[in-house]
C-alpha cells in the first residue's frame, strides 16, 4: 500500500509538473527569440536616420564600430553597392527597397530588413541578421533550471507521499497485528486508536470487538463448566448401580469405565475453566492406541470380531492431547461396532511416516457406499453424525487431515493423519 500511494502521488505530481513546466519552457524559448529579434531591430532602426542623410562615409564608420556587436548590419544602397557585413541582395531585399520593412526566415536564422525612404541617393535597405544560436541564447540554461526545479519538486512530493503513506501503513499494520494477536488467543490485546478518522474508527471497532470476544468465551466456559458439573450427579448414581451388581468382574469393569467417564468430565471442567492455549498439547499416540485397543478388545471378543492391532514399539509423539486422541479413536471404533454386523473383522494400525503419524481404522463391513460422511451432522444410520466430525477436528487441530477409503477387505477405512510437529521439537 505504501508503494502504491507513493506511485500515485508521483504520477499525479509528474502530470502537474509537466502541464506547468512544458508551457513555461516554450514560453522561455519564445521570450529569448523575441528578445534577440527586438535587439536586432532596434539596432537596425537606430541606423536609419544616418542612412537617410546619404553620408556613406559616416555610415561606414558607424558600421565598422558596430562590427563587434552580436548582430551584423548591412546597408544596401540604391545604386547596388553595400556597406558593412557582406550580404546578398535577394528577393526579400528587393522587396524592402519598395518601402516595406519585413522579417524573413533564412538558412541559419532570420534577417530583419528595414526600408529607408527619402534618402538623397534613393531608397536604401538596412539588413540585420539574427542567427538560430542567438535566438536560443540562454534557453538551454533556463531549461536546465526548469528540469532541476521539476525534479526537486517531484522528489519533495515523493518524500512527503512516502512519509504520509508510511504513517497510514503503520497504523494499518498495527490493526493487522491486533487481529493476528486476537486470532492467536491474546484476547486482552488492544490498540490505541490514531491516524485519520476512518482508521481511528476501525481501531475503536477492533477494540470493541476484542472486548466482546473476550467476554463470550468466559460466559461459554462458565456455562460448559456448569453443565459438566451437573453430570456428576448421574455419574454418582451410575457408580452406585455398578457397585450393586452381583458379578464382581462386571462391577469392576463397569466401575472402571465410570472412573474414566468421571475423569473425562473432570478434565472437561478444567479445560473449560482455563483460558484457550496457543500451543497444542502432545501425547504418545502409541500408548493411547494400545490402551484403547485393549479396552475395545473385550467387546470385540464378545461379538466374535477378529481384531488386529499394529502399534510401534517406540513412542509416537503427536500434536494432540491424550483425551482428544482417546475421543477420536473411540468415535472411530464406535462407528465400526454400530454400523457393521457382529463377527466383522476390524483392524487398528498406527505408523509413523516422517513427521506425520497415520492412524488407520478399517473393517470388512459394507463400507461407505461412495458417500462423503465427513461434513458435520451427515449420517446414514440415524446417528448424530458427529463422530467423524470429532475425528476431523482432532486431525486438523494437529495440522493433519482425514481420508475415507475402501479397506483391503472391501469395507471402510478411515485414515487419520496426525501432525507430529517439527523434527527439532523435544518429546
pLDDT at 232 over 70: no
Helix axes 285-302, 322-339, angle to 10 degrees: 30
pLDDT at position 361, please? 93
Cβ atoms of 97 and 48 within 8 Å: the answer is no
Q: Which of 100, 119, 140 is the last residue of a domain?
A: 140
68 vs 390, higher pLDDT? 390
Report the C-alpha gap between 348 and 333 in whole angstroms: 9
pLDDT in tens, 358-379: 999 999 988 876 565 555 444 4
Residue 357 lies in a domain: yes
402 confidence band (pLDDT: 50, 70, 90): very high
Mean per-residue pLDDT, 311-327: 90
> How far does CA 236 lie from the centroid of its chain?
58
Q: Determine how many CB atoms are found less than 10 A away from the CB of residue 383.
A: 13
CATH of the domain at 337: 3.30.565.10
Q: What is the pLDDT of residues 105-153, one digit of tens each?
A: 888 888 899 988 876 777 888 888 888 888 888 888 999 999 999 999 9
Residue 230 lies in a domain: no
Q: Which residue, 140, 168, 196, sits at the end of a domain?
A: 140
Distance between CA atoms of residues 28 and 13, nearest Å:
22
Instruction: Output the pLDDT for position 374.
Output: 58
Give mean pLDDT, residues 297-308: 90
179's grid cell: 487481529
> For residue 96, with 0-12 CB atoms within 10 Å meaning exposed, 13-18 middle and 19 or more buried, which class applies?
buried
Of 210, 213, 193, 211, the closest CA to residue 202 belongs to 193
Cα 261 → chain centroid: 49
- Predicted pLDDT of residue 243: 76
CATH number at residue 60: 3.30.450
Determine the pLDDT at residue 310: 93
Residue 53 has pLDDT above 50, yes or no: yes
Q: Are the beta carbons of 311 and 350 closer than 8 angstroms?
A: yes
Calpha distance 244→291 (Å, rounded): 27
Residue at a domain's end among 122, 140, 158: 140
Cα(292)–Cα(325) distance, rounded to whole angstroms? 10
Domain count, the chain: 2
> Is 331 part of any domain?
yes
Domain hosting 99: range is: 2-140
Q: What is the 3-state secondary structure (H, E, C) of the chain?
A: CHHHHHHHHHHHHHHHHHHHHHHHHHHHHHHHHHHHHHHHHHHHHHHHHHHHHCCHHHHHHHHHHCCCCCCCEEEECCCCCEEECCCCCCHHHHHHCCCCCEEEEECCEEEEEEEECCCCCCCEEEEEEEEHHHHCCCHHHHHHHHHHHHHHHHHHHHHHHHHHHHHHHHHHHHHHHHHHHHHCCCCCCCCCCCCCHHHHHHHHHHHHHHHHHHHHHHHHHHHHHHHHHHCHHHHHHHHHHHHCCCCHHHHHHHHHHHHHHHHHHHHHHHHHHCCCCCCCCCEEHHHHHHHHHHHHHHHHHHCCCCEEEECCCCCCEECCCHHHHHHHHHHHHHHHHHHCCCCCCEEEEEEEECCEEEEEEEECCCCCCCCCCCCCCCCCCCCCCCHHHHHHHHHHHCCCEEEEEECCCCCEEEEEEEECCCCCCCC
Which pLDDT value is given to residue 76?
87
Q: What is the pLDDT of residue 425?
A: 44
**Domain membership flag for residue 125:** yes
CB 400 within 8 A of CB 417: yes
Q: Shortest CA distance to 115 belongs to which of 130, 106, 127, 133?
A: 127
pLDDT of residue 107: 85
310 forms beta bridges with 349
* 183 domain residue, yes or no: no
Domain-located, residue 45 = yes
Mean pLDDT estimate for the chain: 81
Residue 102 lies in a domain: yes
Whole-angstrom distance, CA of residue 288 vs CA of residue 310: 13
- Residue 381 — very low, low, confident or very high, per pLDDT cuts 50/70/90? very low
Separation of alpha carbons 206 and 182, rounded Å: 10
Per-residue confidence (pLDDT) for residue 261, from 0 to 100: 73
- The predicted model gives 332-350 an average pLDDT of 90
CA-CA distance, 50 to 322, in Å (whole number)?
119
400, 375, 250: which is closest to 320 by C-alpha? 400
More confident residue, 46 or 224: 46
On whether residue 160 sits in a domain, the answer given is no
Mean pLDDT of 152-170: 86
Q: φ, ψ for residue 53 (rounded to 5)?
A: -70, -20
Distance (Å, whole) CA 326 – CA 398 = 14
Q: What is the pTM of this model?
A: 0.44
Highest mean pLDDT: which range of 206-215, 246-255, 312-321, 418-427: 312-321
- 202 versus 252: the higher-pLDDT residue is 202
What's the half-sphere exposure (Cβ side, CA atoms, 13 Å) at 25? 16
Amino acid at each position: 500500500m505504501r508503494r502504491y500511494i507513493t506511485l500515485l502521488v508521483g504520477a499525479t505530481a509528474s502530470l502537474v509538473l509537466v502541464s506547468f513546466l512544458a508551457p513555461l519552457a516554450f514560453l522561455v524559448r519564445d521570450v529569448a527569440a523575441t528578445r534577440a529579434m527586438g535587439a536586432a531591430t532596434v539596432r537596425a532602426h537606430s541606423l536609419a536616420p544616418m542612412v537617410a542623410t546619404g553620408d556613406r562615409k559616416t555610415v561606414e564608420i558607424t558600421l565598422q564600430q558596430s562590427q563587434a556587436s552580436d548582430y551584423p548590419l548591412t546597408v544596401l544602397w540604391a545604386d547596388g553597392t553595400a556597406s558593412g557585413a557582406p550580404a546578398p541582395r535577394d528577393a526579400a531585399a528587393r522587396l524592402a527597397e519598395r518601402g516595406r520593412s519585413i522579417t524573413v526566415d533564412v538558412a541559419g536564422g532570420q534577417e530583419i530588413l528595414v526600408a529607408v525612404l527619402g534618402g538623397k541617393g534613393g531608397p536604401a535597405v538596412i539588413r540585420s541578421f539574427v542567427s538560430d544560436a542567438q535566438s536560443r541564447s540562454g534557453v538551454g540554461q533556463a531549461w536546465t533550471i526548469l528540469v532541476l526545479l521539476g525534479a526537486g519538486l517531484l522528489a519533495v512530493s515523493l518524500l512527503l507521499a512516502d512519509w504520509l503513506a508510511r504513517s497510514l501503513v503503520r497504523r494499518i499494520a498495527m490493526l493487522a497485528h491486533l487481529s493476528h494477536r486476537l486470532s492467536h488467543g491474546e484476547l486482552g490485546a488492544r490498540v490505541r486508536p490514531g491516524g485519520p478518522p476512518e482508521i481511528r474508527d476501525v481501531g475503536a471497532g477492533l477494540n470493541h470487538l476484542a472486548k466482546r470476544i473476550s467476554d463470550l468465551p468466559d460466559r461459554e466456559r462458565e456455562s460448559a463448566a456448569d453443565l459438566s458439573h451437573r453430570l456428576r450427579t448421574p455419574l454418582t448414581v451410575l457408580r452406585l448401580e455398578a457397585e450393586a451388581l452381583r458379578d464382581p468382574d462386571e462391577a469392576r469393569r463397569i466401575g472402571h469405565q465410570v472412573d474414566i467417564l468421571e475423569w473425562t468430565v473432570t478434565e472437561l471442567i478444567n479445560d473449560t475453566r482455563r483460558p484457550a492455549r496457543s500451543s497444542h498439547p502432545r501425547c504418545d499416540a502409541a500408548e493411547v492406541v494400545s490402551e484403547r485397543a485393549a479396552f475395545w478388545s473385550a467387546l470385540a471378543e464378545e461379538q466374535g470380531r477378529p481384531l488386529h492391532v499394529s502399534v510401534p514399539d517406540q513412542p509416537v509423539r503427536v500434536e494432540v492431547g491424550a483425551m482428544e486422541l482417546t475421543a477420536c479413536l473411540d468415535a472411530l471404533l464406535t462407528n465400526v461396532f454400530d454400523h457393521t454386523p457382529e463377527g466383522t473383522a476390524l483392524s487398528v494400525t498406527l505408523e509413523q511416516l516422517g513427521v506425520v503419524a497415520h492412524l488407520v481404522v478399517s473393517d470388512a463391513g459394507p463400507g461407505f457406499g461412495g458417500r462423503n460422511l465427513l461434513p458435520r451432522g451427515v449420517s446414514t444410520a440415524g446417528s448424530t453424525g458427529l463422530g467423524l466430525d470429532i475425528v476431523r477436528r482432532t486431525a486438523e487441530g494437529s495440522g493433519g487431515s482425514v481420508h475415507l477409503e475402501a479397506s483391503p477387505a472391501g469395507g471402510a477405512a478411515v485414515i487419520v493423519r496426525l501432525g507430529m510437529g517439527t523434527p527439532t521439537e523435544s518429546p
